[in-house]
Amino acid sequence: MTDDDLFAPPGGRAAAPQPQPGVTPPPPPGATPPPPPPSGATPPPPGAPVPGGPVPADPGFAAGAYYAPGWQPDRPRVEPLAVASLPAGVVLGPVGIGVGGAALSRVRVRGTRGRGLAIAGMVVGAAVTAGWALGAFAWWQGDQARSPLAGDVDAPRTVSARQLVLGTCLDALPPDGEVSDVRAVPCADEHRAQVVARTDFGATEVWPGQGAVDRRVARVCTPETLGPDAPEDTVLVVWSPTEESWRDGDRTGLCLVGSTEPLPADLLG
């Protein structure tokens, strides 16, 4: 007999009561019994979490921990790079794309919020970058249209009238009126017009009026410009800047000779 047997009731140690299937054991001494369910309420299924007791594993909850009823974990913070990607895309274009991409990576790795902001920053950055590219292309085209030709062209091509220089040959004179684009051809090819004189106005000059501009260009557009060996049946035409083209930087006046018949290779010799 062991020492514990001294305190056993007569007849030996009593066996611990075993729970019966379907019977809820009484609470231990001193424990507060759970409140009865409200009238008409459906009792929770077996295994459901009890308010104030352990909750199942879930993002933001620690497994095995106890939480007060209604407690929720704090929402993840917004990723700072996601917030910065939108203004970066508006102001810096391609930088916004890079910042938005880095923000998406951090949102995925750190579990922070801001995926929508990061995507918006990348979209805005791409749109601003495309706008810059289109603007640069338009500026390049405009700059090319203002750059003078490098003498005689090596193949027929359409150019702006502002690009013509002394000696440039054209396939034909365009109709009377404002001239924008013309067809320049090599002087060795068949052509019916050529630039034989040019007048340049100062870049800082004030618009003197259309009549004054025409008269100034006409001073160098005379038969003496061609010399005595000029072919017959030719006409001299003055091309002057208009007030609109003057505001756009056009400061060049041209004198052209034209004919209905092909001209010699180069009237300027």
Contact 219, 116 (CB under 8 A): no
* pLDDT at position 37: 57
Contact 243, 144 (CB under 8 A): no
Characterise 40 by phi-psi region: left (phi > 0), alpha (psi -120 to 50), beta (else). left
Q: Which residue has the higher pLDDT, 60 or 232?
A: 232
Q: Residues 6 or more apart from 205 whose CB is under 8 A from it?
A: 251
Of 26-40, 85-99, 124-138, 191-205, least confident by mean pLDDT is 26-40
| pLDDT above 80 for 11 | no
DSSP category for residue 7: G
Could you give phi then psi for residue 261, rounded to 5 degrees? Answer: -110, 155
- Mean pLDDT across 209-222: 91
How many Å apart are CA 193 and CA 167, to the nearest integer?
10
Domain segments of the chain as ranges = 80-144, 157-259
Q: What stretch of H or E contains 121?
A: helix 115-146
How many Å apart are CA 118 and CA 79, to the nearest integer?
9
Of 111-125, 134-148, 150-164, 238-252, least confident by mean pLDDT is 134-148
Could you give phi then psi for residue 128, rounded to 5 degrees? Answer: -65, -40
* pLDDT at position 6: 46
DSSP letters along 163-227, please? Answer: G--TT-EESSPPPSS---EEEEE-TTS--SEEEEEEEE--TTPPP--HHHHHHHHHTT-SGGGT-
Contact 86, 117 (CB under 8 A): yes
| pLDDT above 80 for 206 | yes
Contact 93, 128 (CB under 8 A): yes
* pLDDT at position 254: 92
- Mean pLDDT across 258-264: 87
Could you give phi then psi for residue 131, rounded to 5 degrees? Answer: -65, -40
Q: How many CB atoms neighbour CB 265 within 10 A?
A: 14
The residue behind tokens 């913070």 is 77
- Mean pLDDT across 32-54: 55
